[in-house]
Chain A
Amino acid sequence: SQTIHQWPATLVQPVGSPLSLECTVEGTSNPNLYWYRQAAGRGLQLLFYSVGIGQISSEVPQNLSASRPQDRQFILSSKKLLLSDSGFYLCAWSTGAVLYGYTFGSGTRLTVV
């Protein structure tokens, strides 16, 4: 069966520090991968998506970047965090078939202080 792993679950980082969040998928090949951010009381904002290794599309220009070094690995990074980067970050994958929707990871709650 397919599973998605996302870590860490919570993170407190000072302003100006770097960030690296990792997401891995098991049990499938060539998944579509997504990074979302969910601010408190608000919906899901798509940050990046990838349809293959090294293929990254950015939805919102910001302080963050994403990379896909391996087929089932998706990394969200920042060189210098801002206070406004605080939020709940979710990784998701899909096969591309609507029948199965998106499968989300358990999320990382990032607080920038």
Chain B
Amino acid sequence: QKEVEQDPGPLSVPEGAIVSLNCTYSNSAFQYFMWYRQYSRKGPELLMYTYSSGNKEDGRFTAQVDKSSKYISLFIRDSQPSDSATYLCASEETSGSRLTFGEGTQLTVNP
């Protein structure tokens, strides 16, 4: 079993839709949770990170972690065509330990 599971999609939504991207994890020691965005033929870039359970909001993006169910979510409000990318969730046990990535979900926002 992979430590971080993510539905690879692809996911296609119309512009303006609310997008929900999700991951599950199995390692109870994970404390830090991140979302990376990867445009085609580019390296991933850090989008958001959260520590332990809770929500974190940044503009149109909200990251949510539920440690009791080992569930990680990223919500995108008012999605834009420029949001079209692959989104990867990642987790690590302690700050500075190695990240474990999900497989990534390919998202397309259609104008």
Query: A residues bordering B, Cβ < 8 Å?
Result: 6, 32, 41-44, 46, 49, 90, 92, 94, 96-107, 109
Query: B residues bordering A, Cβ < 8 Å?
Result: 6, 8, 32, 34, 36, 41-46, 49, 51, 88, 92, 95-96, 98-99, 101-104
Count chain B CB atoms within 10 A of each CB in A41, A92, A102 and give the residue with the most: A102
Query: Which secondary structure dominates where chain A touches chain B?
Result: mixed
Whether A43 pairs with B88 at a CB distance below 8 angstroms is yes
Chain B minimum-CB-distance residue to A99: B49
Tell me the bound Cα distance from A54 to B88 in angstroms: 30
Tell me the bound Cα distance from A43 to B90 in angstroms: 11
Whether A107 pairs with B98 at a CB distance below 8 angstroms is no
Tell me the bound Cα distance from A91 to B34 in angstroms: 18
Question: How many Å from the CB of A9 to the closest CB on chain B?
Answer: 9
**Chain A contacts for B49, CB-based, 8 A:** 98-99, 101
Pick the contact of A106 from B34, B42, B99 — CB < 8 Å?
B42
Chain B minimum-CB-distance residue to A44: B101
**Chain A contacts for B51, CB-based, 8 A:** 98
Pick the contact of B104 from A43, A102, A105 — CB < 8 Å?
A43
Whether B95 pairs with A43 at a CB distance below 8 angstroms is no
Pick the contact of B46 from A43, A100, A109 — CB < 8 Å?
A100
Whether B43 pairs with A106 at a CB distance below 8 angstroms is yes
Q: A96-B95, A96-B96 are in contact. Are A43 and B103 (CB under 8 A)?
A: yes
Tell me the bound Cα distance from A102 to B49 in angstroms: 11
Tell me the bound Cα distance from A83 to B41 in angstroms: 20
Pick the contact of B43 from A42, A49, A92, A100 — CB < 8 Å?
A92
**Chain B contacts for A92, CB-based, 8 A:** 43
15 CB contacts below 8 A, A to B, read A42-B8, A42-B104, A43-B6, A43-B101, A92-B43, A96-B95, A100-B46, A101-B34, A101-B36, A101-B46, A102-B46, A105-B43, A106-B43, A107-B41, A107-B43
Question: How many Å from the CB of B95 to the closest CB on chain A?
Answer: 4
**Chain A contacts for B46, CB-based, 8 A:** 100-103
Question: How many Å from the CB of A75 to the closest CB on chain B?
Answer: 18
